[in-house]
Structure 1
Amino acid sequence: MRSDARQKMIDSAVLLFRERGIDGTAFSDVLAHSGAPRGSIYHHFPEGKAQLAREATERAGELMAGLFERQLTAAGPAAAIDAFVAFWRTTLTSSDFEAGCPIAAAAVAGHDTPGARDAAGVAFARFQELCAADLVARGIEPERAASVAALVVSAVEGAVILCRAQRSLEPLERTAAEISRMIGERPELAVS
């Protein structure tokens, strides 16, 4: 079982990475944010920051996949995409466009955190697999479903980056509208 201090550090790292990136977040920042005792960091993360970055990215991936999967199960791809967009809309506005995706932060992190980049690749692949599997279950041909899933994940993640840079929800709103149009206008992508 993981200790409370360890989990708090991982959760704090997720939150800090989405605002500062991995390279811009120090162990001291994680300790201050989590309230964990100073001596616990190397006890819980003997491999150092690379281990914390990897585990925080894995945690962020699990959380986002869970959100996406719950929505898919409940109402299908259109609702899952709406929920994904709503999550980002709330995250961006509540943080005054300071918070982005901690998984994207891991994907572009420095060379000293390859495990975090690998975990980001796994997380993004998982989102695509979830979306594609649901589309296939609804009768979409597997190759097409995989392409649509990659487009959706790439478009929303890219829109989040643009929103932060432009300090506006417009890129996310335009992306969401275009994805909705695409699903609505293409009979083979329509969901019941």
Structure 2
Amino acid sequence: MAAARRTGSEPSARPRTSNARRRMTDGAIESLRIHGASATSVDRVLAATGAPRGSVYHHFPGGRTQLITDAVTAAGVLMSEFIESTTRDNDPIAALDEFVGLWRHTLLDSDFRAGCPIFAVAVETNDDAPEFARAAATVFTRWHRALTELLVRHGLAADHAGRLATLTVAAVEGAIALCRVERSTAPLEDTVCELQDHLAAALC
């Protein structure tokens, strides 16, 4: 997601890895964000990053499947760390505002071209690469857990917190998709207003 793009450009964001491997992983994340999983190929990533073709099967012996799976995992880790930090340091409504603010800037900065790389994989059928769905599911589970724990800390019962966490993830991801096709942040603004009302009512 957006955090993966921003944080991934910082030298200290990840353990030191091969420069070519890092470029290809970041390039695959960017391609997923803009083009989706089906249009993310090794050739597209090589063209965008300038990484040497000979390094593909050295760093990604599983080829395209491994490249995309690793990109989803890497993006998921970075976004999960952002969500976990946000939910640790804020109350639920402030955490939602910070998360939505990140996406608002990402949509505007990319002229509504960039979406969520995890969502991009999740909405496509990839029968030949079930690894994609498993990687995306792992990421969504981590986000759901962080949001649920935040709501439980603020007094909600675990089952209610879990349902609100599901609603939040689903609503925001869906709103991002609508923003891209409508070329407007209005769906995101409408969604966050409704989510804030739900959270306020649940927490009062």
Q: Deviations over 1:20-45 (max 9, x none)?
A: 01111221221122221110011111
Cα shift at 1:72: 1.0
Cα shift at 1:111: 2.0
Cα shift at 1:177: 0.8
Is this contact kept in 2: 1:136–1:145, CA < 8 A?
yes
Matched, 1:189 2:198: no
Q: Deviations over 1:56-78 (max 9, x none)?
A: 00111111111111111111222
Between the aligned partners of 2:94 and 2:137, the Cα distance in structure 1 is: 24
Question: Which deviates more, 110-119 or 54-63?
Answer: 110-119
Residues paired across the two proteins, number: 188
Which of 157, 177, 192 is the aligned partner of 1:176?
A: 192
Is this contact kept in 2: 1:50–1:112, CA < 8 A?
no
Matched, 1:108 2:132: no
**TM-score normalised by the chain length of structure 1:** 0.93
Matched, 1:16 2:28: no
Which 4+ runs in 1 deviate beyond 4 A?
none
Is this contact kept in 2: 1:55–1:116, CA < 8 A?
no
Which of 111, 127, 135 is the aligned partner of 2:143?
A: 127
Between the aligned partners of 1:84 and 1:51, the Cα distance in structure 2 is: 29
Q: How high is the sequence identity, in percent, across the aligned residues?
A: 44
Q: Deviations over 1:149-173 (max 9, x none)?
A: 0000000000011111111111100
Is this contact kept in 1: 2:21–2:59, CA < 8 A?
yes
Cα shift at 1:81: 1.2
Matched, 1:78 2:107: no
Between the aligned partners of 1:97 and 1:154, the Cα distance in structure 2 is: 19
Structure 2 residue ranges without an equivalent (≥5): 1-15
Between the aligned partners of 1:127 and 1:14, the Cα distance in structure 2 is: 18
Partner of 1:164: 180
Is this contact kept in 2: 1:22–1:105, CA < 8 A?
yes
Structure 1 residue ranges without an equivalent (≥5): none
Question: Which deviates more, 123-132 or 30-39?
Answer: 30-39
Amino acid across the alignment from 1:146:
G
Between the aligned partners of 1:56 and 1:113, the Cα distance in structure 2 is: 14
Question: Which deviates more, 139-148 or 79-88?
Answer: 79-88
Is this contact kept in 2: 1:53–1:113, CA < 8 A?
no
Between the aligned partners of 2:44 and 2:108, the Cα distance in structure 1 is: 23
Is this contact kept in 1: 2:27–2:48, CA < 8 A?
yes
